[in-house]
């Protein structure tokens, strides 16, 4: 019987967990889990599900604190400045740990020094979605239409400097098309305008796009993911279409303040890997459109973050994008 790499990775995490003994007395009290985003979204659901499972596994409360603002930097600063004792953890993301260091001239923390990677949780594909009435149903037709109407198409994003904005600018350059960027203060109004036709296209997360494409309210042209996704099986990846550089999915993972003891980091890494493999956890996460990523060791997760940051630094410099 052939075992998929995903299941093998989860199984490895489960085996590691069996040997990752709890550090003496840890945890002996409640643990804060800081999410640098507002309550209510898919990321918040993910964080609260994880907190509930950690509570069940480790017999201490894991209390979620939403610290939104400044593109996630406020919450990240709170994690960075917390005591490195294992009683404050955070939710890191590609946007906050790979993109923001390239966008902002100065940050109140150092990604490499002030955080310790614990475990990756999920990868988040983005979908290039267009208004259903736009006369295009494929990438070739979309690019042809955009070239025939220079400057007449607009693409939205939840704000300047967001991953959606960067994807849009990269698409403009890669396809050689002239489009206007329209930044919003969040994704809800952007998607409303995209459905209404005020906007013609946008890069939006699979979490937000999947049901809209499935229902015919939007058309999905391509997806930024390693492979096609089950919810949108007819939507090709950018790689399939021969369009390079659209391979940086957003991601979320657990991080800790720099200086947290290694035995605590390894213990949490292994316990979270076990949680990711639980069918109940995956079933409860499924409605968000998110799925657990293959588990990584803390060292592998750190290497993954560094590679992602290097990639985004090159893209941001090339595009000259500035945050709001």
- Give the tens place of pLDDT for each residue, 129-172: 999 999 999 999 999 999 999 999 999 998 888 899 999 999 99
Long-range CB pairs of 2-8, under 8 A, 24+ apart, other chains included: 5/294, 6/294
Q: Name the token pair of 234.
A: 């007819």
- Give the tens place of pLDDT for each residue, 84-131: 999 999 999 999 999 999 999 899 999 999 999 999 999 989 999 999
- DSSP reduced 3-state for 322: coil
User: Do residues 109 and 80 make contact, with C-beta atoms less than 8 angstroms apart?
Assistant: yes
Instruction: Write the CB contacts of 112 (distance below 8 Å, at least 6 apart in sequence).
Output: 306
User: Do residues 281 and 275 make contact, with C-beta atoms less than 8 angstroms apart?
Assistant: yes
- Give the tens place of pLDDT for each residue, 231-268: 899 999 999 999 998 988 889 999 999 999 999 999 99
DSSP state of 95: I
Q: What is the pLDDT of residue 5?
A: 43
Instruction: Write the CB contacts of 101 (distance below 8 Å, at least 6 apart in sequence).
Output: 107, 111, 309, 313
Q: What is the pLDDT of residue 269?
A: 98
Instruction: Write the CB contacts of 302 (distance below 8 Å, at least 6 apart in sequence).
Output: 117
Supply the pTM of this predicted model.
0.86
Q: What is the pLDDT of residue 137?
A: 97
Q: What is the pLDDT of residue 109?
A: 95
Q: What is the pLDDT of residue 187?
A: 85
Tell me how crowded residue 5 is: count the other CB atoms within 10 A of its CB: 8
- Give the tens place of pLDDT for each residue, 176-186: 999 999 999 88
Query: What gap in Å lies between CA 282 and CA 169, rounded to an integer?
Result: 34
DSSP state of 69: -
Phi and psi at residue 310, to the nearest 5°: -65, -40
Q: Where are the domains of the chain?
A: 5-124+249-319, 126-224
With 0-12 / 13-18 / 19 or more C-beta atoms within 10 angstroms meaning exposed / middle / buried, residue 8 is exposed
Q: What is the mean pLDDT of residues 56-61?
A: 96
Q: What is the pLDDT of residue 1?
A: 38
Q: Are strands 250-257 and 115-124 parallel, antiparallel or unpaired?
A: antiparallel
Tell me the H-state helices in 87-186. Answer: 94, 100-103, 111-114, 139-148, 163-175
CATH of domain 5-124+249-319: 3.40.190.150
How far from the centroid of its chain's Cα atoms is residue 255's Cα? Answer: 14
- Give the tens place of pLDDT for each residue, 291-320: 789 999 999 999 999 999 999 999 999 999
Q: What is the pLDDT of residue 117?
A: 98
DSSP state of 71: G
User: Do residues 136 and 130 make contact, with C-beta atoms less than 8 angstroms apart?
Assistant: yes
User: Do residues 224 and 237 make contact, with C-beta atoms less than 8 angstroms apart?
Assistant: yes
- What is the CATH superfamily name and number for domain 126-224? Periplasmic binding protein-like II (3.40.190.10)
Same topology for domains 5-124+249-319 and 126-224, yes or no? yes
Q: Is the pLDDT of residue 10 over 70?
A: no
Long-range CB pairs of 188-193, under 8 A, 24+ apart, other chains included: 190/156, 190/157, 190/158, 193/156
Query: What gap in Å lies between CA 29 and CA 36, rounded to an integer?
Result: 22
Phi and psi at residue 235, to the nearest 5°: -90, 115
Q: Is the pLDDT of residue 15 over 60?
A: no
Q: Is the pLDDT of residue 39 over 90?
A: no
User: Do residues 81 and 52 make contact, with C-beta atoms less than 8 angstroms apart?
Assistant: no
DSSP state of 288: G
How far from the centroid of its chain's Cα atoms is residue 89's Cα? Answer: 17
Reported confidence tier of residue 17, pLDDT bands at 50, 70, 90: very low
| DSSP characters over 30-92 | -EEEEESS-TTSHHHHHHHHHHHHHHHHHSS-EEEEE---GGGHHHHHHHHTS-SSSSEEEEE
Reported confidence tier of residue 3, pLDDT bands at 50, 70, 90: very low
């Amino acid at each position: 019987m052939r075992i998929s790499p995903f299941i093998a990775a989860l199984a490895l995490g489960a085996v590691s967990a069996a040997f990752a003994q709890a550090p003496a007395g840890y945890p002996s009290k409640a643990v804060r889990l800081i999410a640098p985003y507002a309550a209510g979204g898919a990321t918040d659901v993910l964080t609260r599900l994880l907190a509930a499972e950690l509570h069940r596994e480790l017999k201490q409360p894991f209390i979620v604190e939403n610290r939104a603002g400044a593109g996630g930097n406020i919450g990240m600063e709170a994690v960075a400045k917390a005591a490195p004792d294992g009683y404050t953890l955070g939710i890191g993301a590609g946007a906050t740990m790979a993109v923001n260091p390239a966008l902002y001239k100065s940050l109140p923390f150092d990604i490499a020094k002030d955080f310790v990677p614990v475990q990756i949780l999920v990868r988040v594909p983005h979908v290039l979605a267009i208004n259903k009435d736009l006369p295009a149903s494929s990438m070739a037709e979309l690019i042809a239409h955009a070239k025939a109407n220079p400057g007449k198409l607009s693409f939205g994003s939840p704000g300047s400097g967001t991953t959606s904005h960067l994807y849009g600018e990269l698409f403009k350059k890669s396809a050689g098309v002239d489009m206007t960027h329209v930044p919003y203060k969040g994704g809800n109004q952007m998607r409303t305008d995209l459905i209404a036709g005020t906007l013609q296209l946008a890069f939006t997360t699979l979490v937000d796009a999947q049901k809209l494409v499935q229902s015919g309210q939007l058309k999905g042209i391509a997806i930024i993911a390693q492979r096609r996704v089950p919810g949108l099986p007819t939507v090709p990846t950018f790689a399939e279409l021969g369009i390079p550089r659209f391979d940086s999915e957003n991601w979320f993972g657990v991080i800790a303040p720099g200086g947290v003891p290694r035995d605590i980091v390894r213990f949490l890494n292994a316990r979270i890997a076990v949680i990711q493999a639980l069918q109940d956890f995956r079933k409860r996460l499924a409605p968000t459109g998110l799925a657990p990523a293959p588990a990584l060791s803390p060292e592998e997760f750190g290497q993954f973050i560094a590679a992602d940051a290097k990639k985004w630094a090159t893209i941001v410099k090339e595009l000259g994008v500035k945050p709001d």
